[in-house]
Amino acid sequence: MSLFDKMKDAAAAAAQTAVPGGNIPPSAVITFAELPENLEQMKALPEASLDSPYKTAALAVSTFCVYAVDPDSAKPMLEFLRGPKGPLSNMEMQFIRDRLMDSKYVPFSYFEGAVPGNDYRPDEPYKINFFTDKYSFDNEGYVKLNVRSGGADSPRQVVLRRKGDQWFLWDQFILVGIRKPKSDDPWA
């Protein structure tokens, strides 16, 4: 066996034993009996421990649902989820506002049962399923979770950053266009 073959075999063995993301499972379903409507309700949930990227991501999606109807209540919720990243800038607030202006249904589309045909009304209890892929652990200390929308063909992402034992919202790619709800679609 040549030196090159030994190096290649050692690299292959290391790749098989390395676990991207450490103890983060490949997927998780987070269930809410009710969606929190303000920071106090959010902090009362077990998911507010932020000890899992899945918990933080689910709270982020639920917070964007709140933002669609009550931006003033959602802002402190988002800032809690951002942790050390700090308060939202005016530009970030305007970005969210612009994305939800004519499509308040988008964040609801990530919960199970929410599809265009029922105007993105999710099933209760509210369940959201996140999963990882081969790109989820590209950057150390971060994880990019995927989530499916009932109105899109490809998954969207939420990026979380770890600090200590907690995961904080770093970025999101979920406030993007999806199919219109049936009630807004003149072709339906």
**CA pair distance 36, 30, nearest whole angstrom:** 14
Q: What tokens appear for 43 in the block? A: 């902090």
Q: What tokens appear for 55 in the block? A: 């918990």
Please report the pLDDT score of residue 1 as a whole number.
Answer: 59
Please report the pLDDT score of residue 187 as a whole number.
Answer: 81
The residue segments making up the domain with residue 152 are 26-180
**CA pair distance 48, 35, nearest whole angstrom:** 13
Q: For residue 15, is it within any domain?
A: no
Please report the pLDDT score of residue 185 as a whole number.
Answer: 82
Q: For residue 188, is it within any domain?
A: no
Of 122, 127, 72, 113, which is closest to residue 96 (Cα–Cα)? 72
**CA pair distance 21, 115, nearest whole angstrom:** 31
Q: For residue 78, is it within any domain?
A: yes
Q: For residue 1, is it within any domain?
A: no
Between the CA atoms of 79, 139, 132 and 162, what dihedral angle is there, to the nearest 10 degrees? -40
Number of structural domains the chain divides into: 1
| Segment-wise mean pLDDT, segments of 10 residues, the chain, 188 residues | 57 44 88 97 98 98 96 97 96 94 94 97 98 96 98 97 97 95 85
**CA pair distance 158, 60, nearest whole angstrom:** 9
Q: Is the pTM for the entire model greater than 0.85? A: yes
Please report the pLDDT score of residue 10 as a whole number.
Answer: 54
Of 177, 173, 167, which is closest to residue 24 (Cα–Cα)? 167
